[in-house]
Chain A
């Protein structure tokens, strides 16, 4: 076991943690904004999967990764528009709507995969990966350079999204409105501000971030698309928001913890240590359950989360 903890491997684990954490952070920050507005979007997994497929497919068709990422964001946003319409305008049960969207995305992407990608040839189509973009100078810093500053730009965007989100929530007027919205939408309504408009925007933003996270999983880390490629990461993002107690900085920490467990598990397998890897595979999810149990006791969930607002008549 001791040969496992060499400098190279530890650095490699930490670098993998940052890379694996990036889509979790992106999706979780998006979900945070939606939940702070009072809408619980359980469709994150589906929106990520949609982004994942569209990102790959459009990149494959056009040869432009940027176009792929753009398509991923737009596709996921369209799904979140459905979510918003159902949850805010029609005031339907948000849980059910989110679950339905996941099924929709799962079915659609599988269908498109079979009809659009399988028929192209006997070999599965593949694309060029989003290139790494080490940041000049910063990437030369010992340890940190490799761990943090030698990834593709989506990773940097993910990391930056945390302080930006924090600044937005706590220092801008829109952030203040958002914080009120999830706690007591009536307070916003009675100041003459539109509750629905703000909730729509928040849910759409959440969709966009989920799309981005999905695109990361395909064009950012794989040359192929595989059905159900997101593999529960959207659900993990929802858990991360809860474990992070609806605060950006703790969401970053929670995402990195999950990413670390995953990275650790991958390295243990790769190095071939004699340990039942199934247990390690389950680790992030076990930790997720423990984190949720712990949170139950002193949760700072927005008070009106999941409750559709209506003024009366």
Chain B
């Protein structure tokens, strides 16, 4: 029996969205099998069906050659199936050990922490992980939290492990370490399904299954395929952003930031003595590792934080102490770094989220009442224009895939902004084609004359889009470059805190 898992014709719908469309998929014992596809392709849904979180409408699942029906994760766990979910499923105030042992057989009525700790230490040693079992989760780095998730699964002696985009939160070194761990698991006979949309990771697997729009496109041996072939299978349309970015000359200053100081959350300065101008028809890229003051800078520009000193000018007006509503009304749009926390209200529908900030404008509200018909027509128009995939415009945005959620933010901010667009990591966590879509939108706005500030951790993205690139380190501008053939080594050095 070579196949440990065999899925035939599995279909799963959410409302009218078909997340999995007659999926047929198999995993062999002891292999690393990549599930590769864009955001919204249906990878997570398939994984959750295997783990018993969701019930499929039709289709069969065979595990170890036997037909099974999973009604809850309990059924999957009992067969030795483990899963690392796309988003952490941890209890932050509790300790690492508590998170690991909760719900396991080892805990009788009284908690036997000693026995659990021994097993935990043994696992840590075997997989070369350094973790303090008594540390609270919220004191750990995201990378360490991911190790906890993996230990949770290993602690249950899984035979079959699904990892849903586990490297999204890991640094490159940590990702390498993850692959070492996966290979150790593989040698012990554990079958692994690795969900990803990064080609580099796919190439380290044994087999790849490519998904697109809910369907399986193909399953191939990794050795006998190429990156190009895989990319081609994953995305339907060819990408061509290059031609769009033509040099446009119009150097009228739109935003001027003068000697800006902003306090960070823990005392200290998050932004220190920062000077920057944004011109119309221009994208200024901010290179730098997140957490070097980008968030505070953006929030100050849109009025969410107030600076300790310094000035912000929009055309001829000093907007330093304006409220967010006033700045928004002046035509400044903001795509925040954390789309779910700052850009959207997860429990509200697409309609409500798209309307945020415009709900008072006379176009949609008369005498305090919303004109539902007009609102819905407007939202439908935006949803069509931005190709937001959702069962209906009343779907809550928390249920949308990352790409579609970001499109909601984009639609709203692009509609409201008329002069300036501030985009902080607008493509973080998005797959190639949605990221490409965001890029096109930004370039389009540049052409229309917007002044755009774009922060990103990906240099490629900045080079592709920006007219100028400034490097931000510890709240200060460490250097400025023109974006045509900039010296990458110098930028890298400045990003890491070095001097030229």
Contact = CB atoms under 8 A, between A and B. Distances in A.
Please determine whether chains A and B interact with each other in the same assembly: yes
A139 interface: no
B85 interface: yes
Interface stretch (B95-103, B119-127, B487-495): B95-103
Interface string A24-53: 000000000000000000000000000000
Contact of B91 (A173, A174, A187, A189): A187
Given A174-B109, A176-B111, A192 B92 contact: no
Contacts of A311: 53-54
A191 interface: yes
Contact of B83 (A184, A190, A300): A190
Interface of B: 14, 48, 51-54, 72-78, 83, 85, 89-94, 98-99, 101-104, 107-111, 399
Contacts of A172: 109-111
A312 B111 contact: no
With most chain A CB atoms within 10 A of its CB, the pick from B14, B52, B85, B103 is B103
A184 to B, nearest CB: 5
29 contacts: A172-B111, A173-B102, A173-B108, A173-B109, A174-B109, A176-B102, A180-B91, A180-B99, A184-B89, A184-B90, A184-B92, A187-B89, A187-B90, A187-B99, A188-B102, A188-B103, A189-B53, A190-B73, A190-B85, A192-B74, A192-B75, A192-B76, A192-B78, A192-B103, A193-B103, A300-B93, A312-B48, A312-B53, A312-B399
B93 A183 contact: yes
A247 to B, nearest CB: 12
A298 interface: no
Contacts of B74: 192-193
Interface string A297-313: 00010010000000111
State the majority secondary structure of interface residues on B: loop
B54 A312 contact: yes
Contact of B110 (A171, A179, A194, A303): A171
With most chain B CB atoms within 10 A of its CB, the pick from A171, A183, A184, A194 is A184
A188 B54 CA distance: 16
A312 B102 CA distance: 22
Interface of A: 171-174, 176-177, 179-180, 183-184, 186-194, 300, 303, 311-313
Q: Shortest 7 CB-CB distances between A and B: which pairs? A: A192-B74, A191-B103, A173-B107, A192-B73, A183-B91, A192-B77, A180-B91
Contacts of B75: 192
Contacts of A187: 89-91, 99, 102
Contact of B94 (A173, A179, A193): A179
B101 A176 contact: yes
A127 to B, nearest CB: 39
